[in-house]
């Protein structure tokens, strides 16, 4: 390997040997200087990466930019010095690179002994403004950028190259001790305050016991920060330890922002994490390794043992098991609530009998009070048995609230629920979609009065009258599958059609016919005359042409005896096709009353034999 000196010149490996009475030439002295400079440059190149060592800050002076004095090291290890500040004017509007490079020139020309030549190499730190990045990065050091816009100049540190100490091999071995003269001591008061310091120290306390101390004093908000993967992950400040995304980056809901990993090689890994918007999770990471990138509801850690747990809230994402050799008691001053979250699966399961004790006011009468829904399910038939009957409804008054369900004590009828008659519920509870607010799910539904749909207390814009068969509604819409979309596609579309409306019980028939010598006869279905009234029958015709054949205007006769005739208006012997449509009014219905009072479709009163009044308060269950 060839070690170069500067500008890709080989490193000089020989130096002059001086002795008495030696005749020295200029090349001998130049070789000695080059040898010393090459070693100096090589040392600087190895210990200081390329860039600014000190000073050389950019500032704005009027419409110019000023570069402060300072020093830098270039890629050849040469120390580039700017002994005084340098003020320069941008050549125009635009963005310019401020660069510094080493330059040496021959100066001080003399004529001695008949030979004329320059007697000095003069070094210079050359500052320049260029519109493009340097072609030889490393030998030309970027100090920043200047933006000039109509005489307004701003400076930026974009692209600024800063040097630092580099140790190619070996280790930094500071002094041992607990004082500012030991370890690594950073410059004091970098922000201009008083008493601010930072250090890393290592010393022995007693015998072989040692301490490694990383310190940052003296204000409570002075922080020690551990930065990893583009963000601050751990911070010590305000006398506290902080974990998470601490660099100001906003986190999303359900994002894991901090965690502690517990490692058990070849056995089990676990992780205690904090998930934004949810809380703490203890998860099993045996299948991979602890990290912040794992999905919600991951496998919980199998074993968590505590002597006593007192908490305001305990949540088990993957499950919560309480195992005890003795009795497990759940006590709460305000009562015990078991809640199933929306969208979650699983229920409260009691293996064995569930005993309901009495209350303070009624010690011999316990009951189940469900403020929301109360589900009782199991592999066997459910019995609700009580000598006084079973009442489902409002239990806070002496009379049943309107709309409640009263279950009377009647004779057994083939597994049906007796509700003032017979309500046979045969379908699964899952037949009601999750977007529905609830309702009745059954195979057949029989109504002798009417069905109403609308807000509580009315009005009821939609109703079905069982006696007359009338369907009352502002619009009649139908949703059908889109013929161009796959029914199995979750993103498929639907078509929404609406029924035509008119002030009559109308029917229509349509079809296609063809003229023969300018005339045709259209036969209607055999039941047409029996179904429709004689008055109100109309015929519509549409001539149809194929290619460029001529067509004629058409006329139709009145509909009689289940048919009507078609001919051309001008009497031409045309033979083209035509479309026809016949509209009529049904004869089996009375004429439609178009304008009626609004109260005609109001909610009907309940029958006189309304539900009997139940006893006040919840019913007392009786064991079957």
Residue 45, helix vs strand vs coil:
helix
Q: H helices within 142-250, ranges in order?
A: none
CA–CA gap between residue 201 and residue 177 (Å, rounded): 7
Task: Chunk the chain into consecutive blocks of 10 residues (it has 624) and report each block's average pLDDT, rounded to whole numbers.
Answer: 72 84 86 84 76 92 94 88 93 94 91 86 92 89 93 92 78 89 88 89 93 91 87 87 79 88 83 88 85 83 70 67 76 74 70 69 65 67 70 56 47 41 48 66 76 81 80 81 91 88 92 96 95 95 91 95 96 94 93 81 47 41 36
Q: List strands edge to edge, sheet with 450-453.
A: 450-453, 462-465, 471-472
Tell me 376's DSSP state. Answer: -
Asked if the peptide bond before residue 603 counts as cis, ω within 30 degrees of 0, the response is no
pLDDT of residue 608: 44
CB of 49 closer than 8 Å to CB of 163: yes
CA–CA gap between residue 33 and residue 542 (Å, rounded): 111
Residue 32, helix vs strand vs coil:
helix
Cβ-based neighbour number of residue 403 at 10 Å = 9
| Structure-token match 């001529």, residue found | 550
CB of 275 closer than 8 Å to CB of 281: yes
Selection from 11, 17, 3, 8 nearest residue 34 by Cα: 11
Selection from 267, 308, 303, 265 nearest residue 283 by Cα: 303
What pTM value is reported for the model? Answer: 0.42
The residues that bridge with 282 in the sheet, in sequence order, are 272
| Structure-token match 């600024």, residue found | 160
The residues that bridge with 280 in the sheet, in sequence order, are 274
Asked if the peptide bond before residue 218 counts as cis, ω within 30 degrees of 0, the response is yes
CA–CA gap between residue 223 and residue 246 (Å, rounded): 12
């Amino acid at each position: 390997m060839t070690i170069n000196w500067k500008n890709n010149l080989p490193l000089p490996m020989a130096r002059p040997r001086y002795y008495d009475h030696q005749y020295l030439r200029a090349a001998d002295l130049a070789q000695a200087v080059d040898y010393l400079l090459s070693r100096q440059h090589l040392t600087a190149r190895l210990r200081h990466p390329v860039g600014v060592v000190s000073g050389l800050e950019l500032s704005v002076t009027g419409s110019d930019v000023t570069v402060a004095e300072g020093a830098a090291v270039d890629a050849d290890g040469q120390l580039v010095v700017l002994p005084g500040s340098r003020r320069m004017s941008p050549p125009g509007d635009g963005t310019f690179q401020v660069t510094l490079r080493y330059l040496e020139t021959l100066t001080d020309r003399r004529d001695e002994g008949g030979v004329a030549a320059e007697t000095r190499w003069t070094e210079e730190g050359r500052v320049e403004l260029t519109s493009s990045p340097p072609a030889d990065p490393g030998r030309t050091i970027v100090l920043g950028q200047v933006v000039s816009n109509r005489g307004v100049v701003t400076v930026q540190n974009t692209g600024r190259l800063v040097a630092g100490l580099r140790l190619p091999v070996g280790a930094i071995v500071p002094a041992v001790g607990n004082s500012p003269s030991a370890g690594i001591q950073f410059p004091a008061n970098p922000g201009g305050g008083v008493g601010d310091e930072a250090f890393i120290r290592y010393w022995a306390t007693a015998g072989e016991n040692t301490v490694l101390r990383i310190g940052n004093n003296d204000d409570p908000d002075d922080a020690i920060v551990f930065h990893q993967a583009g963000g601050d992950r751990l911070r010590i400040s305000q006398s506290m330890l902080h974990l998470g995304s601490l660099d100001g980056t906003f986190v999303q809901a359900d994002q894991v922002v901090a965690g502690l990993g517990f490692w058990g090689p070849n056995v089990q890994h676990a992780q205690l994490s904090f998930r934004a918007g949810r809380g703490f999770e203890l998860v099993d990471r045996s299948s991979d390794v602890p990290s912040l990138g794992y999905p919600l509801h991951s496998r919980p850690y199998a074993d968590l043992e505590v002597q006593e747990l007192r908490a305001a809230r305990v949540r088990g994402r993957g499950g919560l098991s309480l195992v005890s050799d003795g009795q497990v008691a759940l006590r709460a001053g305000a009562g015990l609530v078991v809640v199933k979250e929306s969208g979650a699966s699983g229920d409260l399961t009691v293996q064995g009998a569930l005993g309901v004790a009495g209350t303070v006011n009624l010690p011999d009468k316990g009951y189940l009070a469900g403020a929301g829904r109360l589900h009782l399910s199991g592999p066997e038939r459910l019995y609700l048995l009580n000598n006084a009957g079973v009442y489902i409804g409002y239990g806070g008054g002496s009379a049943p609230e309107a709309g409640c369900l009263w279950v009377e004590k009647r004779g057994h009828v083939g597994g049906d629920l007796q509700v003032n008659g017979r309500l046979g519920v045969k379908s699964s509870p899952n037949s009601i979609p999750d977007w529905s607010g609830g309702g009745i799910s059954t195979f057949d539904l029989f109504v002798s009065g009417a069905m109403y749909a609308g807000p509580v207390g009315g009005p009821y814009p939609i109703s079905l009258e069982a006696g007359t068969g009338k369907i009352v509604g502002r619009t009649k819409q139908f949703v059908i599958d889109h013929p161009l979309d796959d029914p199995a596609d979750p993103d498929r579309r639907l078509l929404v059609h609406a029924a035509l409306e008119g002030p009559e019980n109308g029917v229509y028939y349509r079809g296609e016919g063809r003229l023969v010598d300018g005339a045709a006869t259209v036969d209607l279905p055999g039941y047409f005359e029996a179904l429709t009234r004689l008055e109100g029958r109309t015929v519509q015709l549409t001539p149809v042409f194929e290619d460029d054949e001529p067509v004629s205007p058409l006329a139709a006769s009145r509909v009689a005896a289940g048919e009507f005739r078609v001919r051309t208006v001008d009497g031409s012997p045309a033979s083209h096709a035509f479309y026809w449509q016949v509209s009529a009014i049904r004869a089996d219905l009375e004429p439609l009353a178009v304008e009626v009072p609004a109260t005609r479709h109001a909610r009907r009163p309940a029958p006189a034999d309304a539900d009997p009044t139940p006893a006040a308060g919840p019913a007392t269950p009786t064991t079957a």
